[in-house]
Amino acid sequence: ATDSERLWQSLMEMARPGATPKGGVNRQALTDLDRQARDLFIEWCRAEGCSIRVDSIGNIFARRPGTDPNAAVVMTGSHLDTQPTGGKFDGCYGVMAGLEVIRTLNRHDIQTRAPLEVVAWTNEEGCRFAPCMMGSGVFTGQLSEHEMLHQTDTDGVSVADALDAIGYRGSDQVEREGIKAYFECHIEQGPILEDRETTIGVVIGALGQKWFDLTLTGQEAHAGPTPMSLRKDALLGAAEITQAINTIAMRHPPHGRGTVGVLQLHPGSRNVIPGQVKMTIDMRHFDAETLAQMAEELQQAVTDSCQRHGLSAELTPAADFAPEHFAESCVSAVRQAAERLGTSHLDIVSGAGHDAIFMGRIAPAGMIFVPCENGISHNEIENAAATDLHTGCNVLLYAMLEQAGL
């Protein structure tokens, strides 16, 4: 089995570049802090005898050869970049767990038939450069390499220039065909495992996502002299639609999600009736048809509210990801590994996007979730128990061995 202490130590060391006073990590993609983390990762992989390749979008592939030169590779990985208010585990855990698998095999002198490869994907978080999951998106052909290299941050720096600046614009051609399996360990980023007192989430797939931008326009007017009956208060529409989104998601349990995360009022003055509201809508479901129906219900709610409050609306799609159903081969490899280890587990659907989801489009993929404290992530107080992280890493080891063969 893997070494709990060594895994924890690696996580703590990897949390240093960009460490924040509150115990979190602020290491945004393609910054010099990201370079430090990448350099460290490569140093550790080289020490384990791995060969390193870096592709044109900066994804790092560390390979441990197998005994059969014709065997298809078994991959694992995640990302080293963080949110501005990130924690120590989101992403980093998946990369360190992969490294720990290789270290364990090296210490025990175990050869696998298939080669193993640990990947650190570029810019999963998408904070500095949109969109998220950029590296895996380009690798899997889901995102255009050309377009992604031209994306810029708020200072106008392009991805291409940022890669050059930190020396990670690679030239290795890494083949995307013939991948046997891709696994990814990740903290759950949600409350379900903790709520059910379960250590391992066997991730069977991921929710589809439909994101929208909505602008509601009424008439701004003075809050005092304008009678209630003569108002066109855009916020009243927004309030109704926010509640409708919640109701729609609740109508489609357990996988329905509906969230308004951004809501901006214009002009935003105490004694002025809001003339315009801009808001974002995030809807998710595991079933593509249901998700489409939820979007229709949203459209209807917007129409109804506009009519009731004399508003006009502009509803535009901002993102659209189909639900992902992971390959049975990988899902059962994870489930069986958990059973063999005798650890508590339950099938779970990832509510969030992950690099594994893009990988699932070109190869069998699976994920291993472990609980995180109070389900909190993207927050400096993000935390996870060393024993859970260790158990997840052991599940990864067993699942990879099962796929790679001895």
Ligand X SMILES: NC(=O)NCCC(=O)O
Residues within the interface to ligand X (CB under 6 A):
132, 189, 224, 271, 352-354
CA distance 92 to 18: 13
Supply the minimum distance, in Å, between the C-beta of residue 29 and its own copies: 16
Smallest separation (angstroms) from ligand X to the CB of 291: 14
Please choose, from the candidates 38, 160, 141, 317, the residue with its C-alpha nearest in 3D space to the C-alpha of residue 133. 141
Q: Which of 136, 88, 103, 98 is nearest to 118 (CA)?
A: 98
d(CA 359, CA 133): 10
Tell me the C-alpha distance between 391 and 338, whole Å: 9
Q: Distance between CA 207 and CA 299 in Å, rounded?
A: 20
CB 88 within 8 A of CB 12: yes
The smaller minimum CB distance to its own copies, of residues 21 and 224, is found at 224
Q: Does 310 participate in binding its own copies (rule CB under 8 A)?
A: no
309 touches 233 (CB < 8 A): yes
CA 196 vs CA 201, 348, 375: distances in Å: 11, 11, 12
User: Is the Cβ of residue 53 or residue 278 nearer to its own copies in the bound state?
Assistant: 278
Three-state DSSP class for 283?
Answer: strand
- Residue 288's binding partner among ligand X, its own copies, none (Cβ under 5 to 8 angstroms by kind) is none
Residue selected from 218, 274, 323, 360 as contacting its own copies according to rule CB under 8 A? 274
Tell me phi and psi for residue 237, to 5 degrees: -65, -45
Site membership for its own copies, residue 209 (CB under 8 A)? yes
Q: Is 153 in the site for its own copies (CB under 8 A)?
A: no
70 binds, among its own copies, ligand X, none (CB under 5 to 8 A by kind): none
Q: Judged by CB, which is closer to its own copies: 175, or 228?
A: 228
Q: Is 106 in the site for its own copies (CB under 8 A)?
A: no
Taking the C-alpha atoms of residue 74 and residue 276, their distance in angstroms, rounded to an integer, is 52
Residue 224: CB minimum distance to ligand X, A: 4
**Measured from the CB of residue 273, what is the shortest distance to its own copies in angstroms?**
6
CB distance 375 to 201 below 8 Å:
no
29 or 216: whose CB is closer to ligand X?
Answer: 29
Instruction: Residue 260: name its binding partner from ligand X, its own copies, none (Cβ under 5 to 8 Å by kind).
Output: its own copies
In this structure, the dihedral spanned by the alpha carbons of residues 255, 399, 103 and 74, taken in order and rounded to 10 degrees, is -90
Fill in the amino acid letter for 85: T
d(CA 10, CA 29): 20
302 near its own copies (CB under 8 A): no
**Which positions from 347 through 376 interact with its own copies, judged by CB under 8 A?**
350-353, 375-376
Least Å distance, CB 241 to its own copies, is 9
Closest distance between ligand X and the C-beta of residue 281, in Å?
Answer: 13
Q: Rounded to the nearest whole angstrom, what is the least distance from the CB of residue 164 to ligand X in the complex?
A: 26
Q: Which of residues 151 and 189 has its CB atom nearest to ligand X in the complex?
A: 189
CB of 398 to its own copies, least distance (A): 24
3-state secondary structure of 134: helix
Between CA 195 and CA 200 the distance in angstroms is 12
Asked if residue 315 binds its own copies (CB under 8 A), the reply is no
Q: What does 258 interact with, of ligand X, its own copies, none (CB < 5 to 8 A by kind)? A: its own copies
Question: Can residue 28 be called a binding residue for its own copies (CB under 8 A)?
Answer: no
Regarding 222 and contact with its own copies (CB under 8 A), the answer is yes
CB 257 within 8 A of CB 283: yes
User: Residue 378 interacts with its own copies (CB under 8 A)?
Assistant: yes
The answer to whether residue 243 forms part of the interface with its own copies (CB under 8 A) is yes
Work out the number of other CB atoms within 10 angstroms of the CB of residue 264: 13
Q: Which residue has the tokens 């901002």?
A: 318
Q: Does residue 40 belong to the site contacting its own copies (CB under 8 A)?
A: no
Which residues are annotated as part of the binding site for Zn(2+)? Answer: 79, 90, 125, 186, 378
**Which of 327, 245, 254, 246 shows the shortest CA–CA distance to 285?**
254
Contact residues toward its own copies (CB under 8 A) are: 85, 188-192, 195, 207, 209, 211, 220-230, 233, 235-236, 238-240, 242-243, 246, 249-250, 253-254, 256-263, 265, 267-274, 280, 282, 284, 318, 350-353, 375-379
